[in-house]
C-alpha cells in the first residue's frame, strides 16, 4: 500500500502540483513554470504519478508472475523501497 497523497493530482496555475482539496504535493521552481516545455513536461509527469502507480498495480495484478522487472523496479522506487 502506498503512503502518498491520493490522486488525482493536477497543475495549479504555474506554481504547484496539487491533490484533492488543493493540498500541494509539489512546489515548482520559484517563479513557476519558467523554462517552458521542460518544466511543463516535468509538472505533467509529476501530476500523472498517482494514475501511473495505479496502472502499474493493475498490470502487476493482471500479469502476475509475468509482470516485468522494470515494473517491479518502478513500483519499488515510487514506494521508497529502492
Position with higher pLDDT, 72 vs 19: 72
How many degrees, rounded to 5, is the angle at CA 18 between CA 12 and CA 57? 130
pLDDT at 1 over 70: no
For residues 27 and 69, is the Cβ–Cβ distance under 8 A? Answer: no
How far apart are the C-alpha atoms of 60 and 32, rounded to whole Å?
A: 35
Provide the residue ranges of all domains of the chain, joining segments of one domain with +. 10-78
pLDDT of the residue at 30 = 62
Residue range 8-36: mean pLDDT, rounded? 71
Closest CA to 19 of 28, 8, 29: 8
Three-state DSSP class for 32? coil
The C-alpha atoms of residue 41 and residue 26 are separated, in whole angstroms, by 14
Amino acid at each position: 500500500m502506498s503512503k502518498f497523497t491520493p490522486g488525482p493530482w493536477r497543475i495549479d496555475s504555474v506554481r504547484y502540483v496539487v491533490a484533492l482539496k488543493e493540498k500541494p504535493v509539489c512546489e515548482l521552481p520559484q517563479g513557476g513554470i519558467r523554462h517552458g516545455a521542460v518544466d511543463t513536461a516535468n509538472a505533467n509527469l509529476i501530476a500523472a504519478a498517482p494514475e501511473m502507480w495505479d496502472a502499474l498495480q493493475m498490470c502487476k495484478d493482471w500479469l502476475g508472475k509475468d509482470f516485468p522487472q522494470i515494473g517491479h523496479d518502478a513500483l519499488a522506487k515510487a514506494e521508497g523501497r529502492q
